[in-house]
């Protein structure tokens, strides 16, 4: 098989990066048409020509460095980044996706990846909608829960509120997204969060319209972000409108439907508003904040137990949030979207990897010139290089790898051997124990393919 300039170097490098960056693996989610993702992609760029494995690694690394958990890729090297979970209805069947891509490098099909810590787990869209009694259950006060044309409504009357949760079980890590229109009534408090019911682990978005919060007065449209692991808080933050309205074009959270997202991994938790990062916390980060019982100082640990989506509306007059004298108020939800990984939940759609990226039954990039090494993205039996056990240090060093990977791939694609050697040396210092066995095997496979 003829290799383009730098093709062998990029192919070998892709296998190295797949092992070294296993802590933030690029797990395949689904294939979409470009039109279905219009408006969701940000930071779009064209990557240098390279085999699919190298493109996947470079695009995922680029998006992770920009704190976007989703990356989109076309075979022509068009790489986009996103934080919004797309509508599953826009997904393209895997066979049609591969046919379109293999017919022309500029085909309309786009592969979507999620930056997930475990390369052996498959990730998938698991969206809920239209919302109804089949996918949302009441935790208490079912009379305060209602549905209207596929939307969920939670009512607060005086101090009488409600809590509901998704009905399809728990999941460990992933991307969790709500489209919410909070009530604007002064004193009303709503929460949207991932919750583990047995040991009080959760990641919260809370919507506050008044009262004396721990960190000062909460004006209408304020947000409250926090995270608990096994009953212990690991950081709470009051976000007043002035801090987030630059992300919403000046609009308050109470001014209509907005998209609220939690990206949850063992390495970090991110809170995203309308696709932009509002708060990002990494494991091991020092967190200091003011709580009701005094100042706190802890090292951040993300929750580590399976959780589910919970929505609630309530009042807390003891803490000054009020709500009891404001009359009836309602919060509306029109969509719940998720990217989940691991064992499929009931009813979720699990899409196979397309053939142009070395999917099952396609061999090493069948039909794609110079696809020497298949990307180690899901653990599929598709001829890919299976990553070995990852040492714990890889997680802590991922941010450093994110800075190294993009320029290194550019150097490899252009045949710049001096820069390539320098970059490989830096990667060796970061994760030599993890990458060396895979590197040697990939080099041997690439040499055989080019003979």
Backbone φ, ψ for residue 89 (5° rounding)? -65, -20
What is the 3-state composition of the chain as percent helix, strand, coil, each rounded to the nearest 5? 25, 35, 40
The model's pLDDT over 284-331, given as tens digits with 9 standing for 90+, comes to 999 999 887 889 999 999 999 999 999 988 776 545 444 455 555 789
> Are 48 and 159 members of one domain?
no
Boundary (domain end) residue, out of 319, 341, 363? 341
> Are 145 and 280 members of one domain?
yes
Residue 258 has pLDDT above 60, yes or no: yes
Which of 77, 76, 73 shows the shortest CA–CA distance to 60?
73
The model's pLDDT over 125-164, given as tens digits with 9 standing for 90+, comes to 999 989 999 999 998 889 999 999 999 999 887 777 888 9
> Are 337 and 399 members of one domain?
no
> Are 334 and 376 members of one domain?
no
Local confidence band at 387 (pLDDT 50, 70, 90 cut-offs): very low
Residue whose entry in the numeric block shows the structure tokens 């891509």: 101
Q: Which of 183-192, 211-220, 385-394, 422-431 has the highest mean pLDDT?
A: 183-192
Boundary (domain end) residue, out of 341, 368, 402? 341
The model's pLDDT over 180-219, given as tens digits with 9 standing for 90+, comes to 998 877 666 667 777 766 678 899 998 887 665 555 566 7
Q: What is the mean pLDDT of residues 88-110?
A: 71
In a domain, 384, yes or no: yes
Mean pLDDT of the chain: 73
Give CA–CA dist 46/99, Å, rounded.
22
Which residues contact residue 183 at a Cβ distance below 8 angstroms, ignoring those fewer than 6 apart? 156, 190, 207, 209, 254, 313, 329, 330, 331
Residue 7: per-residue pLDDT: 40
> Are 115 and 155 members of one domain?
no
Q: Please report the beta strands in 315-366, taking only residues with DSSP state E, as ranges in sequence order.
A: 329-341
> Are 143 and 225 members of one domain?
yes
Residue 44: per-residue pLDDT: 92
When divided into structural domains, the chain yields a total of 2
Contact 54, 137 (CB under 8 A): no
SS3 246: helix
Boundary (domain end) residue, out of 320, 341, 362? 341
> Are 29 and 118 members of one domain?
yes
In a domain, 129, yes or no: no
108 prior amide bond cis, ω within 30 = no
In a domain, 197, yes or no: yes
> Which neighbouring-strand residues pair with 418?
none
Which of 313, 291, 320, 328 shows the shortest CA–CA distance to 189?
313
Residue 156: per-residue pLDDT: 82
CATH number at residue 263: 2.60.120.200
> Are 53 and 143 members of one domain?
no
In a domain, 234, yes or no: yes
Give CA–CA dist 336/355, Å, rounded.
30
Residue 88 has pLDDT above 50, yes or no: yes
> Are 255 and 393 members of one domain?
no
> Are 276 and 402 members of one domain?
no
Local confidence band at 398 (pLDDT 50, 70, 90 cut-offs): very low
pTM here is: 0.75
91-92 vs 25-33, strand pairing mode: antiparallel
Residue 158: per-residue pLDDT: 72
> Are 335 and 354 members of one domain?
no
- Domain that includes residue 293, residue range: 136-341
Residue 50: per-residue pLDDT: 83
In a domain, 130, yes or no: no
> Are 336 and 358 members of one domain?
no
In a domain, 229, yes or no: yes
In a domain, 131, yes or no: no
In a domain, 414, yes or no: yes
- Residue with more model confidence, 18 or 348: 348
């Amino acid at each position: 098989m003829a290799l383009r300039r730098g093709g062998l170097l990029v192919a070998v490098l892709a296998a190295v990066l797949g092992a070294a960056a296993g802590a933030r693996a690029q797990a395949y989610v689904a294939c979409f048409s470009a039109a279905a993702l219009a408006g969701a992609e940000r930071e779009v760029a064209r990557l240098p020509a390279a085999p699919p494995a190298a493109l996947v690694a470079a695009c995922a690394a680029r998006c992770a460095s920009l704190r976007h958990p989703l990356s989109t890729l076309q075979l022509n090297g068009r790489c986009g980044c996103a934080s919004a979970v797309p509508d599953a209805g826009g997904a393209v069947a895997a066979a049609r996706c591969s046919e379109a891509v293999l017919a022309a490098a500029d085909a309309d099909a786009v592969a979507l990846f999620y930056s997930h810590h475990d390369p052996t787990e498959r990730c998938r869209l698991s969206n809920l909608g239209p919302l109804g009694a089949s996918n949302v259950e009441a935790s208490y006060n079912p009379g305060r829960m209602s549905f209207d044309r596929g939307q969920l409504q939670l009512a607060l009357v005086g101090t009488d509120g409600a809590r509901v949760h998704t009905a399809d079980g728990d999941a460990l890590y992933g991307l969790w997204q709500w489209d919410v229109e909070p009530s604007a009534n002064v004193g009303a408090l709503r929460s949207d969060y991932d919750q583990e019911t047995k040991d009080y682990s959760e990641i919260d978005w809370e919507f506050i319209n008044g009262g004396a919060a721990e960190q000062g007065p909460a004006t209408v449209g304020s947000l409250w972000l926090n995270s608990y692991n096994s009953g212990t808080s690991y950081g709470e933050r009051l976000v007043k409108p002035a801090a987030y309205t630059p992300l919403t074009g000046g609009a308050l959270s109470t001014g209509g439907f907005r998209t609220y997202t939690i990206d949850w991994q063992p390495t970090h938790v991110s809170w995203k508003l309308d696709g932009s990062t509002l708060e990002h916390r990494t494991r091991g980060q020092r967190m200091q904040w003011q709580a009701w019982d005094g100042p706190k100082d802890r090292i951040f640990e993300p929750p580590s137990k399976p959780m589910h989506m919970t929505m609630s509306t309530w009042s807390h007059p003891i803490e000054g949030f009020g709500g009891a004298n404001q009359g009836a108020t309602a919060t509306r939800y029109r969509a719940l979207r998720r990217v989940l990984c691991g064992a499929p939940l009931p009813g979720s759609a699990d899409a196979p990897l397309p053939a142009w990226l070395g999917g099952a039954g396609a061999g090493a990039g069948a039909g794609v010139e110079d696809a020497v090494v298949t990307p180690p993205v899901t653990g599929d039996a598709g001829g890919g290089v299976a990553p070995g056990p990852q040492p714990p240090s890889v997680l802590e060093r991922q941010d450093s790898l994110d800075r190294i990977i993009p320029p290194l791939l550019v150097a490899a694609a252009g045949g710049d051997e001096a820069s390539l050697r320098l970059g490989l040396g830096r990667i060796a210092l970061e994760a030599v124990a993890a990458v060396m066995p895979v590197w040697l095997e990939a080099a041997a496979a690439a040499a055989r393919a080019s003979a």
